[in-house]
Structure 1
Amino acid sequence: MGSTIIPIAVLTIVFASVVTIVASYFKLQRHRADAAALAEYRKLAEQIAAGQQATNDRLTELGDRVKAVEKLLQSVG
Protein backbone atom coordinates (compact mmCIF):
# COMPACT_ATOMS: atom_id res chain seq x y z
CA MET A 1 0.00 0.00 0.00
CA GLY A 2 2.86 2.40 0.80
CA SER A 3 4.42 1.81 -2.59
CA THR A 4 1.26 2.92 -4.48
CA ILE A 5 0.75 6.19 -2.60
CA ILE A 6 3.95 7.82 -3.85
CA PRO A 7 3.24 7.32 -7.61
CA ILE A 8 -0.36 8.48 -7.11
CA ALA A 9 0.84 11.58 -5.28
CA VAL A 10 3.38 12.33 -8.00
CA LEU A 11 0.78 11.86 -10.75
CA THR A 12 -1.65 14.08 -8.85
CA ILE A 13 0.96 16.83 -8.55
CA VAL A 14 1.87 16.54 -12.25
CA PHE A 15 -1.80 16.59 -13.27
CA ALA A 16 -2.49 19.63 -11.06
CA SER A 17 0.51 21.41 -12.57
CA VAL A 18 -0.64 20.71 -16.12
CA VAL A 19 -4.16 21.93 -15.32
CA THR A 20 -2.75 25.10 -13.76
CA ILE A 21 -0.51 25.78 -16.77
CA VAL A 22 -3.35 25.25 -19.25
CA ALA A 23 -5.72 27.47 -17.25
CA SER A 24 -3.06 30.20 -17.04
CA TYR A 25 -2.46 30.00 -20.79
CA PHE A 26 -6.14 30.49 -21.62
CA LYS A 27 -6.41 33.30 -19.09
CA LEU A 28 -3.45 35.00 -20.78
CA GLN A 29 -5.05 34.59 -24.20
CA ARG A 30 -8.30 36.12 -22.92
CA HIS A 31 -6.34 39.02 -21.43
CA ARG A 32 -4.55 39.62 -24.74
CA ALA A 33 -7.88 39.66 -26.59
CA ASP A 34 -9.30 42.13 -24.08
CA ALA A 35 -6.26 44.36 -24.45
CA ALA A 36 -6.61 44.35 -28.23
CA ALA A 37 -10.31 45.23 -27.97
CA LEU A 38 -9.54 48.06 -25.56
CA ALA A 39 -6.92 49.41 -27.95
CA GLU A 40 -9.53 49.45 -30.72
CA TYR A 41 -12.02 51.23 -28.45
CA ARG A 42 -9.39 53.79 -27.49
CA LYS A 43 -8.58 54.42 -31.16
CA LEU A 44 -12.28 54.81 -31.95
CA ALA A 45 -12.74 57.20 -29.02
CA GLU A 46 -9.86 59.34 -30.26
CA GLN A 47 -11.39 59.47 -33.75
CA ILE A 48 -14.77 60.46 -32.31
CA ALA A 49 -13.19 63.16 -30.15
CA ALA A 50 -11.38 64.58 -33.18
CA GLY A 51 -14.63 64.54 -35.17
CA GLN A 52 -16.49 66.31 -32.39
CA GLN A 53 -13.78 68.95 -32.19
CA ALA A 54 -13.97 69.52 -35.95
CA THR A 55 -17.77 69.82 -35.73
CA ASN A 56 -17.46 72.26 -32.82
CA ASP A 57 -14.98 74.39 -34.76
CA ARG A 58 -17.27 74.41 -37.79
CA LEU A 59 -20.27 75.42 -35.66
CA THR A 60 -18.27 78.24 -34.10
CA GLU A 61 -17.29 79.45 -37.56
CA LEU A 62 -20.91 79.32 -38.75
CA GLY A 63 -22.04 81.19 -35.60
CA ASP A 64 -19.55 83.95 -36.38
CA ARG A 65 -20.84 84.16 -39.95
CA VAL A 66 -24.44 84.41 -38.75
CA LYS A 67 -23.46 87.24 -36.40
CA ALA A 68 -21.77 89.04 -39.29
CA VAL A 69 -24.89 88.65 -41.45
CA GLU A 70 -27.08 89.94 -38.59
CA LYS A 71 -24.86 93.02 -38.21
CA LEU A 72 -25.05 93.60 -41.94
CA LEU A 73 -28.83 93.35 -41.91
CA GLN A 74 -29.10 95.69 -38.92
CA SER A 75 -26.88 98.27 -40.61
CA VAL A 76 -28.94 98.11 -43.82
CA GLY A 77 -32.32 98.12 -42.01
Structure 2
Amino acid sequence: MNGSTIIPIAVLVIIFASVTTIVVSYFRLQRHRADAEALAEYRRLAERITVQQETVSAQLAELGDRVKAVEKLLHSVG
Protein backbone atom coordinates (compact mmCIF):
# COMPACT_ATOMS: atom_id res chain seq x y z
CA MET A 1 0.00 0.00 0.00
CA ASN A 2 1.21 3.38 -0.77
CA GLY A 3 0.19 6.75 0.61
CA SER A 4 -2.50 7.35 -1.99
CA THR A 5 -4.66 4.39 -0.89
CA ILE A 6 -4.32 4.97 2.85
CA ILE A 7 -6.00 8.38 2.78
CA PRO A 8 -9.28 7.22 1.11
CA ILE A 9 -9.42 4.20 3.44
CA ALA A 10 -8.91 6.47 6.47
CA VAL A 11 -11.64 8.82 5.23
CA LEU A 12 -14.03 5.89 4.74
CA VAL A 13 -13.26 4.57 8.23
CA ILE A 14 -13.92 8.01 9.73
CA ILE A 15 -17.21 8.34 7.81
CA PHE A 16 -18.29 4.83 8.85
CA ALA A 17 -17.43 5.54 12.51
CA SER A 18 -19.36 8.82 12.37
CA VAL A 19 -22.45 7.22 10.86
CA THR A 20 -22.29 4.39 13.42
CA THR A 21 -22.01 6.88 16.27
CA ILE A 22 -24.97 8.89 14.97
CA VAL A 23 -27.15 5.78 14.61
CA VAL A 24 -26.27 4.52 18.10
CA SER A 25 -26.93 7.97 19.59
CA TYR A 26 -30.30 8.16 17.85
CA PHE A 27 -31.48 4.83 19.26
CA ARG A 28 -30.25 5.75 22.74
CA LEU A 29 -32.22 8.97 22.50
CA GLN A 30 -35.35 7.06 21.46
CA ARG A 31 -34.93 4.66 24.38
CA HIS A 32 -34.43 7.60 26.75
CA ARG A 33 -37.60 9.28 25.46
CA ALA A 34 -39.58 6.08 25.98
CA ASP A 35 -38.22 5.78 29.53
CA ALA A 36 -39.09 9.41 30.23
CA GLU A 37 -42.65 8.90 28.97
CA ALA A 38 -43.06 5.81 31.16
CA LEU A 39 -41.71 7.69 34.17
CA ALA A 40 -44.12 10.57 33.54
CA GLU A 41 -47.00 8.09 33.38
CA TYR A 42 -45.90 6.55 36.70
CA ARG A 43 -45.80 10.02 38.26
CA ARG A 44 -49.33 10.79 37.04
CA LEU A 45 -50.50 7.45 38.41
CA ALA A 46 -48.84 8.10 41.77
CA GLU A 47 -50.45 11.55 42.00
CA ARG A 48 -53.87 10.11 41.17
CA ILE A 49 -53.47 7.34 43.74
CA THR A 50 -52.39 9.86 46.37
CA VAL A 51 -55.53 11.93 45.77
CA GLN A 52 -57.67 8.80 45.95
CA GLN A 53 -55.97 7.72 49.19
CA GLU A 54 -56.65 11.12 50.74
CA THR A 55 -60.31 10.85 49.68
CA VAL A 56 -60.64 7.37 51.17
CA SER A 57 -58.94 8.52 54.39
CA ALA A 58 -61.39 11.41 54.71
CA GLN A 59 -64.32 9.07 54.11
CA LEU A 60 -63.00 6.63 56.71
CA ALA A 61 -62.60 9.43 59.24
CA GLU A 62 -66.18 10.54 58.58
CA LEU A 63 -67.40 6.96 58.92
CA GLY A 64 -65.48 6.58 62.18
CA ASP A 65 -67.16 9.71 63.53
CA ARG A 66 -70.58 8.36 62.54
CA VAL A 67 -69.86 5.02 64.24
CA LYS A 68 -68.80 6.84 67.40
CA ALA A 69 -72.04 8.84 67.31
CA VAL A 70 -74.08 5.66 66.89
CA GLU A 71 -72.18 3.97 69.75
CA LYS A 72 -72.78 7.00 71.95
CA LEU A 73 -76.48 6.91 71.09
CA LEU A 74 -76.67 3.19 71.86
CA HIS A 75 -74.91 3.65 75.20
CA SER A 76 -77.27 6.46 76.14
CA VAL A 77 -80.32 4.34 75.25
CA GLY A 78 -79.06 1.15 76.89
TM-score range, shorter chain: over 0.9
* Distance in 2 between residues matched to 1:76 and 1:14, nearest whole Å: 92
Whether 1:8 and 2:9 are equivalent positions in the alignment is: yes
- Tell me the number of residue pairs that the alignment of Structure 1 and Structure 2 aligns: 77
Unaligned runs of 5+ in 2: none
Q: Distance in 1 between matches of 2:24 and 2:61?
A: 55
Matched with 2:64 is 63
| Distance in 2 separating the partners of 1:2 and 1:14 | 19
Render the CA deviation track for 1:15-70: whole Å, top value 9, x for unaligned.
Answer: 00010011001101111111111111110111111111111110000000000011
CA distance in 1, matches of 2:34, 2:76: 63
Task: Output the CA distance in 1 between the equivalents of 2:38 and 2:46.
Answer: 12
Moved over 6 A (4+): none
Q: Given the two structures, how large is their TM-score scaled by the length of structure 2?
A: 0.95
Separation in structure 2 between the aligned mates of residue 31 and residue 4 of structure 1, nearest angstrom: 41
Aligned residue identity for 1:67: K
Aligned-partner Cα distance in 1 for 2:17–2:34 = 26
Distance 1:41 1:70 in 2: 42
Aligned CA RMSD, in angstroms, stands at 0.7
Match of 1:33 in 2: 34
